[in-house]
Amino acid sequence: MSSNEESSNGDSTNENRSRRRFITGLTSAAWAVSAAYAAVPLVLSMTPSARARNAGAPVEFDFSKLQAGQMVKVEWRGMPVVVLRRTPAMMAGLDEVTELLADPDSADSVQPGYAQNPARADANKNEILVMLSVCTHLGCSPVEKLAVGPDPEMGEDSKGGFFCPCHGSKFDLAGRVYKNVPANKNMVIPPYQYLDENVILIGDDEARNA
């Protein structure tokens, strides 16, 4: 009892009050730091797992059956990759739309160096377009509009291209984005290489450096 009285008397002195406040502050800070540390494993448990990280292997695709003007979608890392063999008319159309594009030279867009050209393809086989079919706006997969001519979405004198159904972004047949649409970058060209005349390896271009 007497010790209680002593401490309550001690409380009223300014020195004790500030000391108490300091210790309370220090304890609270220690709690906050501990809580932050405790949150780390929980937060990190939500990042991509080792299994997800290992799942990104390159995929092979044999495009010998792909006729001029035909397109297929191949899955790589869970994402759709377009492989399109463009016709000479389609290739000619690429130059006619340059004025309408936001980034015709692909200066702000993502592609390997060997695909930074108007066709956005390997110069050896520049009619073959290999492209992530993922809209650079919000990640939908744009619909192919391969036909030349009037199209409800692409416009009256469409030279063919890709139209994103989600938010109306338009791309040409090299995945270059049109001006004044929600997307502002060209679609991504993944690294790729030719294993032989008809087989393409998507996701790996090591051989180019060798």
Please report, as ranges, the residues that interact with another protein according to CB under 8 A.
43, 46-49, 52, 56, 73, 75, 77-80, 133, 137-143, 153, 164-168, 179-184
Question: What is the CB-side half-sphere exposure of residue 109 using CA atoms within 13 A?
Answer: 31
60 vs 95 by CB, closer to another protein: 60
C-alpha 148/C-alpha 116 separation (Å) is 24
Residue number, 139 or 149, with CB nearest to another protein: 139
Minimum gap (Å) between residue 178 Cβ and another protein = 10
DSSP 190: P
Q: CA–CA separation, 66 vs 33, rounded Å?
A: 60
Residue 3's region, left for phi above 0, alpha for psi from -120 to 50, else beta, is alpha
Give min distance, CB of 181 to another protein, in A: 7
Compute the least distance from the CB of residue 105 to another protein, in Å.
17
Residue 196 CB, shortest distance to another protein, in Å, is 25
Pick between residue 143 and residue 147 the one whose CB is nearest to another protein: 143
Instruction: Report, in Å, the least distance between residue 8 CB and another protein.
Output: 31
Nearer to another protein (CB atom), residue 54 or residue 209: 54
DSSP-H helix ranges across the chain: 2-11, 14-44, 50-54, 88-96, 206-209
Residue appearing with tokens 């050896």: 124
DSSP classification of residue 198 = S
When the beta carbons of 10 and 168 are compared against another protein, the nearer one is 168
H or E, element range at 144: strand 143-145
